[in-house]
Structure 1
Amino acid sequence: MTDPTEPPELGRDDVLTLDDARFVGENVALVTGAGSGIGRATALALAHNGLTAMATDIDEDGLDETVAKHDELDLDGTVETVAGDLTDDDDIDRVVDRAADCGQITFLANIAGLQTVAPIEEFPMEKYDMMQEAMLRAPLALTKGCLPHMREGDGGAVGNMCSIHGHYVTRDKVAYNMMKFGLRGLTQSIAAEGDGDVRAFSFSTAYVKTPLVTDQIADTAEERGISEQEVVEDVMLGEARVKEMMDPIEVANVFTMGFSEHANHLDGGDLLFDGGYTLTY
């Protein structure tokens, strides 16, 4: 039986490509969490659409693998990298400066995420602090740094990686739930102040085949006293109508669409791609 959490091999033809006047090498898309998973796929997809993708992550080896995958697939565009710790303000400033050195910052994809599985009574507050800094404070700080560049150019857009956990919550993930609800508030705040020139949107999925998801299966099984298979079938996919997790490239393709001229009226909204998870029963 095929492992439902195992992403398929990414192929060049899996990447959605769109004609867009702003999808050119002079324009930079800054992508966080680009050393693996959704962030890597998004950096590759945006580069293949002609942008200069500035991939950042705390994992330098992961960033090297992202560049290697770009070369292996013979994708178009350019992937530049800069390692950075999103809990460090100096690193955040350095990442934005590096992106600006490569061209006109036009797009920002806040994708980096962390997870901790524990009930509220046992939740380690140092984990909460780290998640809050990396998943909510950093997207605000990065937006603050990128906005002047976007306004100096022809505008731009900020895409925030949200989740079904930004619509409703599951147990034992209090910090993650709080961060994702907060990202929707950040998205709407950016839209309110963007005056239509700088758009913002969030993108909410159910479970995606990424290390963030697969790494929490064992912890969830232990916390709930069930098998890992039951975690996948009952906890992760039990409420969904589409009994299959999304692939990272499917998420990346939606970011591409959201940044494109085809989404000019997507401003402050949330794209709910969850296989019928939250709105059906």
Structure 2
Amino acid sequence: MADPATVDFGADDVLVIGDDHFDAESVCVVTGAASGIGRATAAAMATNGLTVVGTDVDADGLASTKALVEDEMDAPGDVVTVEADLTDDDDLRAVVEEAATHGDVRYLANVAGMQHISPLEEFPMDVYDAMHDVMLRAPFLLSKLVVPHIRDTDDGVGAIGNMCSIHGHVATQDKAGYVTSKFGLRGLTKSIAAEGGGTLRAFTISTSYVSTPLVEEQIPDTADERGISEAEVVEDVMLGGSRVKEMMRPIQVANLFAFGFSKHGQHLNGDDMTWDGGHLGTYE
């Protein structure tokens, strides 16, 4: 069972969309599915009736996601879990191969991420390399592997959704590794769209801060780097530029993936769903 402290949603919170491709024969691969936005995205897509192949390095977290979706939420779609290291090419190939045994692989949600807070001149290169591999190289390779499966469907319809961030649009201090990967992810997305022929689409989702373990774990480090309190990090650094003074919930982001993958996202291709509470578009 999923830890109640990390799950704040149920079936009623999911955006359910009528779409001919949202059925058990369509497979959606979701990375980072053991927690946070990845867990919520797996839940949203399964609640929409798809077969979800969720992957993560955290096997226990994956089991919790499966139990949450199938037992507690009673979702109509199945969740298949595949433990994998996103820095291992063979593992990534195995994930897509497994997904293909469960139906038509039409959707890929690249959600998994990591963070490190450090000034550029002190940024550890081994950490940078790991961040690049998880947040940019893995989405690149998974997209490369999934694209042929989408093309081989009867109508070539499918989409790749990439979890970006306002940090894929603007930079803040002490997050050079994260910012670099997120800007690159937008370039990958546009490249997929350029080659997709219109029916195979790609998009990014850029949010401000979302209430996830990834965000919560960076609060103490940000406080130390800036010499401020943890409360000030949340109020001033994270939400200070936003007009909406609360973090998004993971399920709210997951619903954007469901919409973007659906027929209603037909003209969302190569571009970004900026859902940031007014963070980027307004100022005081």
Instruction: Provide TM-score, normalisation by structure 1.
Output: 0.97
2:51: which partner in 1?
52
1:60-75 to structure 2, matched below 5 A, reads 60-70=59-69, 71-75=71-75
Distance 2:72 2:258 in 1: 21
The one-character-per-residue Cα deviations of 1:27-72 (angstroms, maximum 9, x if unpaired) are 1000000000000000010011010011000110110010111111
1:1-281 to structure 2, matched below 5 A, reads 9-70=8-69, 71-153=71-153, 154=155, 155-281=157-283
Compared CA separation, residues 7 and 243, structure 1 to 2 (3 A): farther
The one-character-per-residue Cα deviations of 1:176-201 (angstroms, maximum 9, x if unpaired) are 00000000000000000001121000
Measure how far apart 1:7 and its partner are. Answer: 6.4
Structure 2 letter corresponding to 1:222: D
The one-character-per-residue Cα deviations of 1:67-122 (angstroms, maximum 9, x if unpaired) are 11111122221111101001010001001101111111000000000100000111
Query: For structure 2, which runs of at least 5 residues remain unmatched after alignment?
Result: none
Distance 1:9 1:245 in 2: 13
1:3: which partner in 2?
none
Measure how far apart 1:9 and its partner are. Answer: 2.3
Distance 2:208 2:277 in 1: 7
Aligned pair count reads 276
CA contact 1:55–1:80 (8 Å) conserved in 2:
yes
Distance 2:29 2:149 in 1: 12
Identity %: 60
Measure how far apart 1:268 and its partner are. Answer: 0.5
Distance 2:11 2:38 in 1: 17
Distance 1:16 1:141 in 2: 29
Deviating runs (4+, > 6 A) in structure 1? none
The one-character-per-residue Cα deviations of 1:216-242 (angstroms, maximum 9, x if unpaired) are 001101111111000000000000000
Instruction: Provide TM-score, normalisation by structure 2.
Output: 0.96
Structure 1 letter corresponding to 2:224: E
Distance 1:73 1:54 in 2: 17
Query: For structure 1, which runs of at least 5 residues remain unmatched after alignment?
Result: 1-5
User: Alignment partner of 1:245: what SS?
Assistant: coil
Structure 2 letter corresponding to 1:99: A
User: Alignment partner of 1:230: what SS?
Assistant: helix
The one-character-per-residue Cα deviations of 1:114-166 (angstroms, maximum 9, x if unpaired) are 10000011100000000101110100100000011000003210000000000
Distance 1:269 1:87 in 2: 26
Structure 1, 53-62 or 6-15: larger mean CA deviation = 6-15
CA contact 2:6–2:36 (8 Å) conserved in 1:
no
